[in-house]
Amino acid sequence: MQPIMKIICPGCGLVLSDLGGPTHEYMESSPACWAMYGEVLAREYSDVTYRAVHHLTVDTYAVQHPGRYSPQSTQSVAAHLISLYLVLELGYSSTRATAALKAAVELGEFEWLEPPRSLGELTVEHVGHAANAVEHIERVHEWAVSTWNAWSEHHAQVKEWAAQAIMPRAGSRS
């Protein structure tokens, strides 16, 4: 019997079996981490109760797997960090955060934020082992907070981008 090889995810650092397989085009991850993320998404798509935190799941995974500098990854990290800020610190709903995220992307002038050494203590694995919907929702929130806090050195820049994106909409209520 051959030993199972392990691989470290280049994004979040999660150590999983080396499965081989697909990954995202610019969010760098191991195939096993990408597959686990897919399982979490499948759970959220298949049950409306889990879907309540889908937006946070996507934002968190994206900023925990920032990839390398490119126009796509620069925009992705900036937009998803803005969304995390709006939801976690300002209490925006996912619908409202999505609208602000779209406005931010339309403004479009983002700079590459050098990823922190650690992208958070928790990973998608924390969510993947949830036993039920309540635990899943709690774990997504814990993972999101852990990941958002890991990017603390860039919070001022993210807040500035968010302010630019929501300023034109400040007078309108949605």
What would the 3-class secondary structure string for 68-108 be? Answer: CCCHHHHHHHHHHHHHHHHHHCCCCCHHHHHHHHHHHHHHC
Dig out the tokens for 70 from the structure.
């490119």
Nearest to 11 by CA among 61, 47, 50, 80: 61
Q: Of 2-11, 56-65, 86-95, 138-147, where does mean pLDDT reach its minimum?
A: 2-11
**pLDDT surpasses 80 at 174:** no
Residue located via tokens 């969304």: 83
Task: Compute CA distances 90 → 31, 82, 96, 97, whole Å.
Answer: 34, 11, 11, 10
Q: What is the mean pLDDT of the chain?
A: 90
Nearest to 105 by CA among 132, 143, 78, 145: 78
Is residue 75 within 8 Å of residue 64, measured between CB atoms?
no
Q: What is the total residue count of the chain?
A: 174
Q: What is the pLDDT of residue 171?
A: 45
50 contacts: CB under 8 Å, gap ≥ 6: 43, 44, 133, 136, 137
Residues 62/63/69/75 CA torsion (nearest 10 deg) = 70
**pLDDT surpasses 60 at 172:** no
Share of the chain above pLDDT 90, in %: 74
What mean pLDDT do residues 118-134 have? 96
Q: How confident is the model at residue 22 (pLDDT cuts 50, 70, 90)?
A: low
**Distance (Å, whole) CA 48 – CA 81:** 25
Q: How confident is the model at residue 131 (pLDDT cuts 50, 70, 90)?
A: very high
Burial readout 153-165 (b: 16 or more C-beta within 10 A, e: otherwise)? ebeebbbebbeeb
